[in-house]
């Protein structure tokens, strides 16, 4: 049985001068990591549509995997760029500090559920956010998104007054689909049942997978978990994560 340690409420911004109280409270992370050297890690972003919820560990099966559960600012206090900058800062913190806890910084994955899965895809696919912090998506090993928007997130559409209609698709610089490329990181897309998950969510993920494959991407996986809705995918979806991570490490490390 693997032994784990946990640490809580670590600020991932080294300098909080000028930060609002909202940012100081939200921009923290919790760590759960095995008591051995060289473990892979996953930065995990919670869901909540950018309007609520708190950082938390996903319901993972037993695996020798470090998890960094990251919070981030929410609307209306923060805008789209603020939230994406927070997500990138949490990932950069992990790349720069996970070795201090025994983790291997060459084996870091970015992942999340719903809005958090969208953040994982955006940070892993658009180089801008990590490059602003002196890091790169190339330092990551893969992207894992559970029931996540692949088009522009509907909350960000509302913020930018882009289009009317909750389910009217829009693809701009705030859409993971905008950044599909042959050399993207390995991707694992997990959704609920198309009859139970949020409308169009499965189809958006299918478009992402099909687009990556058409461009010659070497490793994209997509799973539709029958019988699971947008809530229960949080419980059932993570069972697929350790297998994807193991395959990526065998293939690309």
Helix or strand (DSSP H, E) at 52: none
pTM of the entire predicted model: 0.96
Q: Three-state DSSP class for 189?
A: strand
Structure letter (DSSP) for residue 36: S
Domain ranges of the chain: 4-252
Nearest to 231 by CA among 49, 40, 16, 24: 49
Q: Using one digit for the tens of pLDDT, what is the confidence trace for 76-95?
A: 999 999 999 999 999 999 99
**Residues 95/88, Cβ–Cβ less than 8 Å:** no
Q: Using one digit for the tens of pLDDT, what is the confidence trace for 6-53?
A: 999 999 999 999 999 999 999 999 999 999 999 999 999 999 999 999
**Burial of 213 per CB tally in 10 Å (0-12, 13-18, 19+):** middle
CATH architecture for the domain at 4-252 = 3-Layer(aba) Sandwich (3.40)
**Residues 210/189, Cβ–Cβ less than 8 Å:** no
Q: Three-state DSSP class for 239?
A: helix
Nearest to 201 by CA among 136, 128, 146: 146
């Amino acid at each position: 049985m693997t032994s784990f340690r946990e640490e809580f409420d670590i600020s991932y911004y080294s300098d909080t001068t000028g930060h609002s109280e909202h940012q100081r409270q939200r921009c923290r992370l919790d760590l759960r990591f095995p008591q051995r050297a060289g473990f892979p890690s996953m930065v995990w972003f919670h869901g909540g549509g950018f309007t609520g919820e708190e950082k938390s560990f996903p319901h993972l099966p037993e695996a020798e995997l470090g998890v960094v559960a990251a919070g981030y600012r929410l609307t209306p206090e923060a805008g789209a760029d603020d939230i994406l900058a927070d997500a990138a800062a949490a990932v950069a913190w992990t790349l720069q500090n996970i070795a201090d806890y025994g983790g291997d910084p060459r084996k870091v994955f970015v992942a999340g559920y719903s809005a958090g899965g969208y953040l994982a895809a955006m940070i892993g696919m658009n180089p801008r956010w990590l490059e602003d912090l002196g890091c790169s998506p190339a330092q990551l090993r893969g992207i894992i998104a559970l029931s996540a928007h692949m088009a522009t997130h509907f909350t960000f559409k509302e913020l930018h007054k882009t289009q009317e209609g909750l389910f009217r698709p829009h693809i701009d610089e705030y859409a993971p689909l905008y950044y599909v490329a042959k050399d993207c990181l390995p991707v694992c897309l997990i959704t609920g049942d198309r009859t139970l998950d949020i409308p169009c969510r499965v189809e958006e993920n299918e478009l992402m997978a099909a687009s990556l494959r058409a461009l010659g991407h070497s490793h994209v996986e997509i799973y539709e978990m029958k019988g699971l809705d947008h809530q229960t995918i949080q419980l059932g979806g993570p069972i697929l994560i350790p297998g994807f991570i193991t395959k990526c490490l065998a293939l690309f490390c």
